[in-house]
Amino acid sequence: MSSLRTPFFVLALVCMALVVLVELGSSRILGGDGAGAGLAREAEANEVDIVGSTADVDEPPGRAISYLSFVDGVLLYTVLLIGASLVISERVHGRVQGVVTLIASILLIIAAFIAAIIAFIELLVMVSLLLAVPFGTIAYLALWGFFPRGDAAAVLSLLMFLKLAFAVFLVLAQQRFLQQKGLVVLVLISLVLNVVIAFLHGFFPLVLVSIVDTLLALVVAIVGIIWGIVLLIGAIPSIVSTIRLGATDVAKTG
Amino acid sequence: MNVKIAILVGVVLVVLFVGSVLVGARKDDGSSTDSNGIIDRLASVAGDPSAVARADVAADCVDDDDPDLLVITGGCTVAVRNDGDLRLLRLLAIDALEVEAPAPEGDLEVESEVDAGEEVSVAVGEGVTEIDIDCIGIGLTECRARLVAG
């Protein structure tokens, strides 16, 4: 069993592409439903009155699921690189891989770093508002207090299914993928993050889920930065060998 | 990693995931008034929002002799300027009063009754926030509140 079964590999690729697309689009799928009734109930619990209508108060979209694309994007990129070797020559693939990986990893690190800072600042604002009873608490509740836990669980279930399907198709395409430790670790991290987010979304009281979600987004962004650094370091030997090959070619033609 | 171990890991992850989703489905929604360990820890990291500087507070009802005392005749509007992060205006109600202020970062107006002797913190976002204070005691036309420093 040495050759790659292309149909299974293409299916794996499609599954992972869908994972990244669902994650990127999750902020548009989640949230947006009215949460005015919940806010009125919480205002009563905090012994304050809300002047005017609460009809504009909506559920927040959350961050953690969309931030998963930093990790799953690395997985998609890795599989795309493997796929590219099927359609372009080994020589071109070897030369291009290092440079593309270098650029992609730098972009990933920058994007994940900015996203981590945004999540961290939002987390501090959330906690400060929540604890500034009663005026800040009501502001927190209006903006982030009613996380769409059910919808998020549905999206995470879809992602879990697609990721498992990806893993199964990848093994069916070539069993030796199981021996690639980096790929296996990346798939496991992606699955574990999915489970952890689903667990913590359900574990905490509803009004605190947005804070937990933002904290998870921060963790996912940091994991993305770490994988970006791993990619960056992995690209260096490839670039060095490309430069050496280039120098050899110049010497031969000269 | 061989196929059997991979299948086992996959099954364990699926069981954990289903368990996680079921835990969330059965969980009570709770309330913002419940205390929670993770919030307490995050609060210790974030720290309390700073109090607004006295120089950033302006009102027509400030007592001539005591700049921290608000003497409210019927009602008074306190304007608070804030150039940065969330700040708190702390008020100690000497008499019963009602405070109405916009919730920071949102479009809501929030109203809270404060009993005599109680302290209330009004969260103030960036920009100028106008806080309305009204006397609410029966037959009371004048009430007092003290601006609490730091």
Query: Domain for residue A46, yes or no?
Result: no
Q: Which residue is it, tokens 């820890």?
A: B41
Categorize the per-residue pLDDT at B46 as very low, low, confident or very high, splitting at 50, 70 and 90.
low
- Most B-contacting residue of A41, A49, A128, A186 (CB-CB within 10 A), to test interface: A128
- Phi, psi for residue B68 in degrees, rounded to 5: -95, -5
Residues 181-200 of A with CB under 8 A from B: 184, 188, 191-192, 194-195, 198-199
Contacts of A179-186 spanning 24+ positions with Cβ under 8 A: A179/B1, A182/A78, A182/A230, A183/A75, A183/A78, A184/B1, A186/A71, A186/A74, A186/A75, A186/A78, A186/A227
Residue A71 scores a pLDDT above 90: yes
The Cα A172–Cα A174 span in angstroms is 5
Query: Domain for residue A106, yes or no?
Result: yes
A40 touches chain B (CB under 8 A): no
pTM, to two decimals: 0.84
Categorize the per-residue pLDDT at A160 as very low, low, confident or very high, splitting at 50, 70 and 90.
very high
The proportion of chain B whose per-residue pLDDT surpasses 70, expressed as a percent, equals: 84
The Cα A130–Cα B48 span in angstroms is 11
Query: Domain for residue A44, yes or no?
Result: no
The Cα B127–Cα B83 span in angstroms is 6
pLDDT score recorded for residue A66: 97
Q: Residue ranges of the domains in chain B? A: 50-148
pLDDT, tens digit, 9 for 90 and up, residues A89-120: 887 887 788 899 999 999 999 999 999 999 99
Query: Domain for residue A45, yes or no?
Result: no
Distance (Å) from the C-alpha of residue A99 to the closest C-alpha of chain B?
Answer: 30
Residue A1 scores a pLDDT above 70: no
Query: Domain for residue A25, yes or no?
Result: no
Superfamily of domain covering B50-148 = Galactose-binding domain-like (2.60.120.260)
Q: Count the Cβ atoms, other than its own, within 10 Å of residue B74.
A: 12
**Are residues B105 and A198, on separate chains, in Cβ contact within 8 Å?**
no
Query: Domain for residue A50, yes or no?
Result: no
Give residue A106's domain range: 14-20+63-247
**Are residues B103 and A132, on separate chains, in Cβ contact within 8 Å?**
no
Domain count, chain A: 1
